[in-house]
Amino acid sequence: MTTNVQDSIDVEVPVSTAYNQWTQFESFPRFMSAVERIEQIDATRTHWVTKIAGVQREFDAEITEQHPDERVAWKSVSGPNQGGVVTFHRLDDTHTRVTLQLDFEPEGIVEKAGDALGIVSKQAKGDLGRFKEFIESRGVEEGGWRGDVDRTPQPGEGATPPA
């Protein structure tokens, strides 16, 4: 059964600063408590090492859609089945709302129990809070990738009707 977690936080930086920092995946361990390491494989693929409630997982993820200052969406291509999207909403010149949506399938008894207790939801909320502290304390991003990745149409979308 797929679990959905969604949360938002307002950060006191311009939308481009929040977005640019979020594209620096290798910095995630500095504000995401369950992420031990992320390696950028290429422009759209990353390798993750996570540890939640003592359970370590490794997986590869692929960016499925990315538009500067708007959104970054991903899905796992190996390991645990998960995906998500983070969106960036300009509130004014110096404030941005960051919204995270995560879909995942808990595996095993420990993960299912943790999911039932809302651990992942609490962790996502904490991670967003740490992102806020991280980016606001810096005031500037460490870098940024401004590339555009268009979403691949799913089967049945955009199909031309038969003549």
Each domain of the chain, given as residue ranges in start order, spans: 3-23+63-138
Superfamily of domain 3-23+63-138: START domain (3.30.530.20)
Smallest CA-to-CA distance from 46 within 117, 153, 149, 116 is with 149
pLDDT at 154: 62
pLDDT at 162: 46
Helix (H), strand (E) at residue 133: helix 119-138
- The first and second tokens of residue 69, run together, are 């200052």
For residue 116, the SS3 value is: helix
pLDDT at 101: 97
- The first and second tokens of residue 152, run together, are 């691949």
d(CA 62, CA 93): 31
Q: What are the per-10-residue average pLDDT scores of the chain (163 residues)?
A: 92 98 96 95 94 86 97 94 96 98 84 79 94 96 88 62 46
Sign of the Cα torsion 104, 108, 113, 116 reads positive
pLDDT at 158: 55
Read off the pTM.
Answer: 0.87
pLDDT at 79: 86
Do 145 and 22 contact (CB within 8 A), yes or no?
no
pLDDT at 54: 79
